[in-house]
A and B are shown apart, each in its own frame.
Chain A
């Protein structure tokens, strides 16, 4: 059950060389409901809906694997570092507790 979500992969610095270590951040628009909050109008609990796991993979090889719980803020950001190793593709796969699976990828082109 895939749903369209706005997401973004940012790499800093924008221009990088082969073998360089760069900062990678991934952002998603997601409600991250904990399941303990009440709707103010209907006074009923809002069901839990949060991201379960996030995987960063580079050319099919997994580099970072995260297990996520409810305590992350709405529209979460995940920032780590990554070593550039030739041309390729960075793919981020994220799963929801309701079974929603999504993917976002970005091409990587080192210069020089």
Chain B
């Protein structure tokens, strides 16, 4: 019995130590003023509308990112970019970062082409999505999961 108990306890300790780094990251969430979860961020941008999944939005993110501190993201949207029909805004969101919003880009017809690219930080394996606002008020979304081997927010 004693031996059994010992192994049980060992198992618990291992589990706690495995979870601990995640918890310490979770503890940091409350410290940031800009913390916002993925769902509230989407609601804040769309104003309650549900974004449609569309093939018009092309999100280019690596499936496996070795370093979470530098993840290149490219968003391409098929649009004529005329004064009557253009892409109003591109939002890049990361589902598990303490602040889900990465960047909001407000475009105008003077851009000529609806494309944006940067490099973002990811805290761990999660989903990256591009939320696109069109000039007629519709919202489109494209999502892709990214595997991160080393987190970038530690």
Among A34, A63, A71, A77, which residue has its beta carbon within 8 angstroms of that of B110? A63
Residues of B within 8 A of A (CB): 25, 28, 31-32, 34, 69-71, 94, 97-99, 101-108, 110-122, 152-154
Contact B101 A69 (CB under 8 A): yes
User: Would you call A36 and B28 a contact (CB within 8 A)?
Assistant: yes
Given A63-B108, A72-B121, A73-B69, the answer on whether A80 and B102 have CB atoms closer than 8 Å is: no
A45 to B27, CA, bound (A): 13
- Sample (28) of A-B pairs whose CB atoms are under 8 Å apart: A34-B121, A35-B31, A35-B32, A36-B25, A36-B153, A61-B110, A64-B105, A64-B106, A64-B111, A65-B105, A66-B103, A66-B106, A70-B32, A70-B99, A70-B121, A71-B94, A71-B103, A72-B103, A73-B70, A73-B71, A73-B118, A74-B69, A77-B117, A79-B116, A79-B118, A80-B111, A81-B113, A81-B114
- B104-A21 in contact (CB<8A): no
Size of the chain A interface, CB-CB below 8 angstroms: 31
Task: Confirm or deny: A42 has a beta carbon within 8 angstroms of a beta carbon on chain B.
Answer: no
Q: A64-B111, A72-B103 are in contact. List 15 more A-B contacts (CB 8 A).
A: A35-B31, A36-B153, A37-B154, A63-B107, A63-B108, A65-B106, A66-B104, A66-B105, A66-B106, A67-B104, A70-B99, A71-B94, A71-B99, A71-B103, A72-B118
